[in-house]
Amino acid sequence: MDAENDINGRIKYITKRREDFFLKQGQSTSSLLVMEKGLIRAFFYKDNKEYNAWFAKENEIVASILPLFSNKPSFENIQFLED
């Protein structure tokens, strides 16, 4: 029960709007996001073109690997596609 209380004490519920960002290229974060509702995408730019890397929906865990595990800035953007 102590572990559950500790985890619950660290959870923050946020509401985002369509086109808001969870993370932008060059930023660092050590947060994970669990999608309760909605859809998001990760994308990056290469040679002045935009490329989608992945999508996530309800009940999926989202993060950018480089900032989370290597403490390096993200090369991707993570953007909400729905409110």
Task: Locate all alpha helices (DSSP H) within 1-83, ordered by sequence.
Answer: 2-10, 65
Whole-angstrom distance, CA of residue 53 vs CA of residue 36: 21
pLDDT in tens, the chain (83 residues): 688 888 888 888 889 999 999 999 999 877 889 999 999 999 999 999 999 999 999 999 998 888 888 889 999 999 999 99
Amino acid at 18: R
Q: What is the pLDDT of residue 50?
A: 97
Q: What is the pLDDT of residue 26?
A: 93
Q: What is the pLDDT of residue 68?
A: 84
CATH code where residue 28 lies? 2.60.120.10
Q: Which domain holds residue 48?
A: 2-80
Total domains in the chain come to 1
β-sheet bridge partners, residue 79: 21, 41
